[in-house]
Chain A
Amino acid sequence: MIAFLIKRLMHAILVMFVISVLAFAIQDNLGDPIQQMVGQSVPESEREEIRERFGLNDPFLVQYARFAKNAVQGDFGYSYFYREPALEVIARHLPATLELVFAATLIIVLLSVPIGVYSAIKPRSPISRLFMGISIIGISIPVFLTAIVLIQIFAIGVTVTLFPESTGWGAWLNDFFSTEGNMPSFGRGYDLVNVVGNWDTNLATWNGLQHLVLPAVSLASIMLPLFIRLIRAEMMEVLQSEYVKYARAKGISMRRVYFVHALKNTMLPVITVGGVQIGTMVAYTILTETVFQWPGMGLMFLDAINRADIPLIVTYLMIVGVIFVVTNTIVDLIYGMVNPTVKLTGKPA
Chain B
Amino acid sequence: MSTTNNSSPASASPSRWERLRDSYIWYSFKRDRTAQLCLAVFICMVIAAFASPLLAPTNPYDLSQIDIMSSELPPFWIDGADERYALGTDAQGRDLWSIVLYGTRVSLLIGFGAVILQALLGVTFGLMAGYLGGRVDTILMRLADIQLSFSTLMVAIVVGALVKATMGSAFYSQYAVMMLILIIGLAEWPQYARTVRASVLAEKNKEYVDAARVMGLRSKRIMFRHVLPNTMSPIFVISTVQIANAIISEAALSFLGLGMPETHPSLGSLIKSGFDYIQSGSWWITLIPGAVLVVLVLSINLLGDWLRDVMNPRLYKG
Residues of A within 8 A of B (CB): 15, 18, 26, 29-31, 136-137, 139-145, 148-149, 151-152, 156, 269, 276, 279-280, 282-284, 286-287, 290-291, 302, 305-306, 308, 310, 313, 317, 320-321, 324-325, 328
Chain B residues contacting A287 (CB-CB under 8 Å) are 252, 255-256
Report whether A140 and B151 are in contact in the complex, using a CB–CB cutoff of 8 Å: no
- B165 near A: Cβ within 8 Å? yes
Contacts of A149 in B (CB 8 A): 287, 290
* A151/B278 in contact, CB under 8 A: yes
Q: Which of B256-312 contact A (CB under 8 A)?
A: 256-258, 268, 271, 275, 278-279, 281, 283, 286-287, 290, 293-294, 297-298, 301-302, 305
Which residues from chain A contact B153 at a C-beta distance below 8 Å?
280, 283-284
Partner among A152, A276, A286, A313 whose Cβ is within 8 Å of the Cβ of B278: A152
Interface residues of chain B: helix, strand, loop or mixed (majority): helix
Inter-chain contact B256/A141, CB cutoff 8 Å: no
Given contacts A15-B146, A136-B305, A144-B252, contact A283 B157 (CB under 8 A): yes
Residue of chain A at shortest CB distance from B169? A306
Residues 161-196 of B, flagged 1 when their CB comes within 8 A of A and 0 if not, give 110111000000000000000000000000000000
Given contacts A280-B151, A305-B164, contact A291 B275 (CB under 8 A): yes
Q: Decide yes or no: A140 and B301 within 8 Å by CB, A286-B157, A287-B252, A324-B149 being known contacts.
A: yes
Q: Does B25 contact A (CB under 8 A)?
A: no
Of B164, B165, B275, chain A has the most CB atoms within 10 Å of the CB of B165
Of B162, B164, B298, the residue contacting A136 (CB under 8 A) is B298
With both chains docked as a complex, state the minimum distance between the C-beta of B307 and any C-beta of chain A, in angstroms. 14
| Least CB separation from B279: chain A residue | A156
* A280/B165 in contact, CB under 8 A: no
Quick one: given A29-B166, A148-B275, A305-B164, are A283 and B298 in contact (CB under 8 Å)?
Answer: no
Interface residues of B in 125-161 (CB under 8 A from A): 146, 148-151, 153-154, 157-158, 161
- In the bound complex, how far is the Cα of B148 from the Cα of A317, in angstroms? 15
* CB of B198 closer than 8 Å to a CB of A: no
Is B317 in contact with chain A by the CB < 8 A criterion?
A: yes
Are A302 and B301 in contact, with the CB atoms below 8 A? no
Among A145, A313, A328, chain B packs the most CB atoms within 10 A around the CB of A145
